[in-house]
Chains A and B, each alone.
Chain A
Amino acid sequence: MNMQTKVRSETPLLQVQGLTKNYGLITGCRDVSFELRSGEILGIVGESGSGKTTLLRCISGGLEPSAGAVWFDTRRHGMVDVFSLSEQDRRRIQREEWGFVHQNPRDGLRMRVSGGANVAEPLMMTGARNYGAMRELTKQWFDRVELDTGRIDNKPRQFSGGMQQRLQIARNLIHNPSLIFMDEPTGGLDVSVQARLLDLMRELVRSLGLAAIIVTHDIAVARLLADRLLVMKDGRVVEHGLTDQVLDDPQHAYTQLLVSSVLQI
């Protein structure tokens, strides 16, 4: 792997401390702690029901954790516990400094407005009021994610699954966030489309120097994109380390099972 982690700062961008989320008596995730610096990509892997999505939703401010804290280095307030902020400030951070790429593009796109409007929406959400300038930037982003600018006014349903995912990626990067969350970004796509999308995402994330947290159950995606991996099982982090190290020399029994379960062709 020739990707080098370009750590841009000494202080972490995101710091998760003892994060626990219970759904009644059921545990979503338990006592998860890690740090993330800007320019770094963290993969979270684990089987279905292991708490990956719960963890992601807690970190991204969508779900209040039962215990623990999520510290984030905001542009407005500096390093703060996201859940100590008012809802208004938290929503502003989500809007201005974060992006969220959903597994299903229908969850992340507005299906009733055009692809171009979907990509431009975060600009309007952060106060842009000049149509021409937004249109221009939207076209640039269509180019960057390799979409045909001639189709800028098509509705999302007129795009293929892979293209919808590209729309989502453009929409989540156009407002220059510092952290992007991705929940199974390549799920449901065929492998060749997956490969090109992964390539694109890697290129974009690297060139923009932003931090990303990618939840996936696909080891190959993790291997390609992530610098570091968290392996989760039953709501706990069972292994944590550099991607190559975790995948090539798994220590925990579950990680060993996970790695050995990958089909070799």
Chain B
Amino acid sequence: MSATNNPSASAYNYAYLDEQTKRMIRRAILKAVAIPGYQVPFGSREMPVPYGWGTGGIQLTAAIIGPDDVYKCIDQGADDTTNAVSIRRFFARVANVRTTEQTGEATIIQTRHRIPEARLSEGQIMVYQVPMPEPLRHLEARETETRAMHAYEEYGLHYLSLYESVSAYGRIAGGADYAVLVDERYLMSPSPIPKFDNPKLHQSEALHLFGAGREKRIYAVPPHTDVRSLDFEDYPFELQSWEEVCALCAATDSYQDEVILDDAGTRMFVCSDSAYCAERRAAGHAGPMAGHDLDHEPGHEAEGAAA
């Protein structure tokens, strides 16, 4: 079964995990895809990074990746942050795959906080690193009880947290990890993506796989599945919006990060999806701070196995 090994990584099996572990994870993935939104327990392995650094996502990627794949890894939407760079380098080394920063080109996109702005297409797989897979956990500490609630579709408890939010803030607050109902059946935590990204899960053409390494759970949203963000009749789900445009590429439709520039309170709003922003700038879009020192060409690092 083992594919050709990269000579520099010959001490490891292809894609780091042993074949039996990969088969076990694939079985869990198949079950997760068959029951959209249902959390499938799996035997999570020790990984060479600590829990909380993406062990669930790395195991999912290791189980599905092959030499033909093109791999993209983002952290907070950006391709060039420390975690994204090291996980991308890890798979370039142990799985001998080509890596990319372009969303459209990738076959596997591993992420924690974002879904890329560019529309995902058929055949692409999103892999999420999930810290807390159980959306009901903060209100119900007992696993036996939350399992019963999922089994019997008793999701009234979740509305309690929405109620608290409305009574405290006058609206459904909470910007990320906004629970969704998958295929009108299972309540699911979409991992800490901003609720801005929730609609991208609905009827998506890509396969979305979620892995929680510490909590030992895998779940999935298959392509063309209904995903609904829960809300009240009189307080409907709404997206974040920004009055500013992206300072570099002038995008108005993207999720923006606020960056503090100095001690005097100067700030900029910039696309959190660095690949999307770079693409727009390359296409000639320019925001109010285009040409600023901060607006340099995105660094294309030369990575070991990138052909």
Contact = CB atoms under 8 A, between A and B. Distances in A.
Interface of A: 87-88, 91-92, 95, 110, 112-114, 116-117, 120-121, 124-127, 129-132, 134-135, 152-153
Contact of B164 (A92, A113, A132): A113
Contacts of B157: 121, 124-125
Interface in B264-291: none
A153 B167 contact: yes
B139 interface: yes
A130 B232 contact: yes
Given A88-B152, A125-B154, A125-B156, A131 B168 contact: no
5 contacts: A113-B160, A114-B164, A117-B164, A121-B160, A127-B156
Contacts of A126: 156
Contacts of B162: 131
A92 B154 CA distance: 9
Nearest to B162: A131
A91 B148 contact: yes
Contacts of A88: 151-152
A129 B164 contact: no
Interface string B128-158: 0000000000010000000010011010110
B152 A131 contact: no
B163 A124 contact: yes
A129 B159 contact: yes
Nearest to A126: B156
A136 B74 CA distance: 45
B152 A91 contact: yes
Interface residues of B, number: 20
B156 A124 contact: yes
B163 A117 contact: yes
A117 B233 CA distance: 17
Quick one: which of A88, A114, A129 has the most chain B CB within 10 A?
A129
Given A113-B163, A124-B160, 12 more contacts: A87-B148, A91-B154, A92-B152, A114-B167, A117-B163, A120-B160, A121-B157, A131-B163, A131-B232, A132-B234, A135-B167, A153-B168
Contacts, number: 61
A129 B157 CA distance: 12
B242 interface: no
Nearest to B168: A153
A211 B12 CA distance: 69
A117 B160 contact: yes
Closest 5 CB pairs of A and B: A125-B156, A124-B159, A131-B232, A124-B156, A88-B152
Nearest to A120: B163
Given A91-B148, A91-B152, A121-B156, A131 B234 contact: yes
B167 A152 contact: yes
B235 interface: yes
A132 B154 CA distance: 22
A251 to B, nearest CB: 44
A159 to B, nearest CB: 16
Interface string B161-203: 1111011100000000000000000000000000000000000
B101 to A, nearest CB: 42
B53 to A, nearest CB: 29
A114 B160 CA distance: 10
A1 B151 CA distance: 48
Contacts of B167: 114, 116-117, 135, 152-153
A129 B168 CA distance: 17
Contacts of A95: 154, 156
Nearest to A132: B234
B236 to A, nearest CB: 11
A124 B160 CA distance: 7
B160 A130 contact: no
A99 to B, nearest CB: 15
Quick one: which of B154, B157, B164, B166 has the most chain A CB within 10 A?
B164
B251 to A, nearest CB: 34
B156 A131 contact: no
A95 B154 CA distance: 10
Nearest to B140: A110
B159 to A, nearest CB: 4
Nearest to A130: B233
Contacts of A129: 159, 232-233
